[in-house]
Structure 1
Amino acid sequence: MIDLRSDTVTRPSAAMKAAMMDAPVGDDVYGDDPTVNALQEYAAALAGKEAALFLPTGTQANLVALLSHCERGEEYIVGQLAHNYLYEAGGAAVLGSIQPQPIEASRDGTLPLDKVAEKIKPDDIHFARTRLLSLENTHNGKVLPQGYLRQAWEFTRERGLGLHVDGARIFNAVVEYGCSLKEVVQYCDTFTICLSKGLGTPVGSLLVGSAAYIRRANRWRKMTGGGMRQAGMLAAAGQYALEHNVQRLKDDHDNAAWLAAQLREIGADVMRQDTNMVFVRAPEGAAGALGEHMKAAGVLINASPVVRLVTHLDVSRAQLEQVVAHWQRFLTR
């Protein structure tokens, strides 16, 4: 099957599996796993931050990030469509008693700072205390403008807020900017990296920040069930991904741009393409039929009125040519 549902569907390569099999391991809860420790140190150095923490999932990494920034009854300001507000089962509110204050993002994925300022609560016993601004980069495939990142950083410094970035696909942003990770994340206190999306690992995320912050996060990781034991086999996949699979993300972006152009050429209603994502409006009332047609042809998509197609390391240009051909057949039925 050609799977365009998400870049989470990637499978570890033979070289990644070999690295996993050869990884020295220990008990990570005791801090004894050398491969986990090496990954955390490597990621922190790559980011220019003091420390990093390896977690099983991106959802847990985001939850632990918020729990480590905010106390019970405090608040984070976040986008209405942000993953750590909309798509993670309300974990911060349910498990941390942290109040989200969502606002609508601009078309470019940024949260307008004037609107953020309006939502910061006064120091009054009637209100939750606003502690954190949470951004997402990339946001629905869109790379946040670099100038905005600096402005948001300065804004939070002036108002005494922390700044967290859900960086599940932050390396897609880094590749698009054409700069280093360090240049991007200098404008945040903390951020996450999802290793199991376009970077191709089977599991795992990283939370990166100051040494004191990561000590707090380590306690929350344990409390939320993320204290793994011989996790070095998983961390080795992350290390391999950071060393070998970052720059190749540009191939995914190029493939997405090519796919968008080809779909437009055959008459598909392509709404936009950003990084490794293409958004296509299905013919009216035909989303389900489109999904079934593509599945029968060996192509998996999330069938909906607006179809998000995600390119990744397990999809080649030749396979995308097949996707275009099958899509054209559907349109001409």
Structure 2
Amino acid sequence: MAIKILRSVGYGLLVVLLVTFGVSLMMHLAPGSVSQTILGAEATPEAIAAMDAELGYDRPFIIQYLDWLWHAIRGDLGNSPLTHIPVTESIMQRLPVTFEIAILALAISLLISVPLAIVSASRPNGTLDRAISALTSVFLSVPAFVAGPVLILIFAVSFNALPALGWSDIGDGLWANLRTALLPALAAGLTEIAAFHRVLRSDLIGTLSEDYIAAARAKGLSGGYVMMRHAFRPSSFSLLTISGLSLARLIGGTIVVEILFVLPGLGQFISNAVISNDVIAVQGVVAFIALVFVVVNMLVDISYGIVDPRVRKVSNSKKTKAPKTQKVAA
């Protein structure tokens, strides 16, 4: 187990390295510079070059990246040349907003998709199953930048039930905070509802066709008991995997939602950093999001053994070596 964790950590660090290098290279090749943003549109090329030299952006790209990487390994993601605030501090200030939206979107997606998948798998290809599949296909086809305005029109404009824009911290009250978080979370989670439903429905249908399920039904056990006690757990591996990946993806992919609903999260921060060519801020946020992906993947792998003990038994059985066959002398 320890070797597996160390191997996962090594692969994860390699992923973080490659992702940050690729993003840094793209930012380096992009036109403009943060110096031009600081000095304004009227700045002369000489003034921009002088500020680039002052900030260290006149050095070769690989030197800039290695210098940033050396400080990042020691926990220093640098200071934004625009705000002069440490990038780590900026991330920590905005992370609670993004994290809450991602967690709430994941929770809403699971609360809706799991019952729908159970109902669909109970009578596959029936009328209700086809209706649910059609509904989830609509969810899958609607991106967040379309779902957001539609949800605003329905819940904020038509029914005046939830605020359309803005953010209330949890210190202002739990209900006030949830009212500002529900619409962004629902907009971000619609696609996840469709993905979770399809994966769990398919796995449940496959599990329900197994012989041990038929034996359980032959004993006179109710359909609901068989579904939840015997079929659901072994069918939840794929759901567990994509749920973990979905959480990491939601943390790193709420840019559109945060811009649309004017939320002070990581998405808004990295969007502004890209527009202003703030390479240091972009590198820091990308490194953090990549690290989140790595950690979540590791936790998902570890949780397999908790969800189904048979995984641990298989892993332990692999450690026992088969006896070597004796060579027969010619």
Give the TM-score category using the shorter length: under 0.3
Q: Which structure shows the higher strand fraction?
A: 1
Taking structure 1 as the reference length, the TM-score comes to: 0.25
Bigger proportion of residues as helix = 2
